Copies of this chain bind each other. A is one copy, B any other.
Amino acid sequence: MKGERTRQSILDRAVDLASVEGLEGLTIGRLADDLDMSKSGLFAHFGSKEELQLATIDAAAERFVSEVFRPALSAERGYPRLIAICRSWLSYIRRNVFPGGCFFAAASFEFDGRPGVVRDAIVQSMDEWMGAIEKAITMARDEGHLDPGVDAKQLAFEINSLFFGANFAFQLRGDKRALDRATRAIEERIESLRVPPRRRLAAAR
């Protein structure tokens, strides 16, 4: 019981640290110092640095889901939810949910060149996220909110790219307007594929 609480507080800190220093720059000694505990005591919770990294990715994913994805799910399916997801993501950067910017963008660029289970875990997280965007797009299409010919993978790619671009400019350059630029680009792009609501009530199906 106690162990679980400690483990969680370790991971909370590990996520913050890794978002700044990277998953490889995340160091057991540094983490232990930050938490006023011994290296060995902390180490025992994970058994290896790799396990710590994997657990850190999981913890980051949980934070991401509860801060970004789940809130957007309360918007009604279709176009509103798609827009809600995009706005939620940009607000996640503005709110500095991770002190070093988007954890998964950083992790993706850090591990995109080296094989191993850590990279695999990052790939899986990103796949799930991209899949969620795609699903929101196809739902919007199936609801009749978007052009039926819309290419979901393509649009998801474009939206995700603009997320990364926003994170880059905001985090590296401190450019707050980048978030507005991304918002504008995304919403104009989605608008260009939109089928406007016919009447107030008569939606498709």
Chain A residues packing against B (C-beta within 8 Å): 19-22, 24-25, 99-101, 105-106, 108-114, 119, 122-123, 126-127, 153-154, 157-158, 160-162, 164-166, 168-169, 171-173, 178, 181-182, 184-185
Contact = CB atoms under 8 A, between A and B. Distances in A.
Give the one of A109, A113, A162 with max B CB within 10 A.
A109
A108 B157 contact: no
A133 to B, nearest CB: 12
B101 A113 contact: yes
Number of copies: 2
29 contacts: A19-B113, A20-B114, A21-B113, A22-B22, A22-B24, A22-B110, A24-B24, A99-B113, A105-B109, A106-B110, A108-B168, A111-B172, A112-B168, A112-B171, A112-B172, A113-B171, A122-B172, A126-B172, A154-B181, A154-B185, A157-B181, A158-B162, A158-B165, A158-B181, A160-B165, A160-B168, A161-B161, A161-B166, A165-B165
Contact of A168 (B20, B153, B164, B185): B164
Interface of A is mostly: helix
A101 B166 CA distance: 20
Given A106-B109, A162-B165, 17 more contacts: A20-B114, A24-B24, A99-B113, A101-B113, A106-B110, A111-B172, A112-B171, A122-B172, A153-B181, A154-B185, A157-B169, A157-B178, A157-B181, A157-B185, A158-B162, A158-B165, A161-B161
Contacts of A172: 108, 111-112, 119, 122-123, 126
Give the one of A24, A110, A153, A172 with max B CB within 10 A.
A172
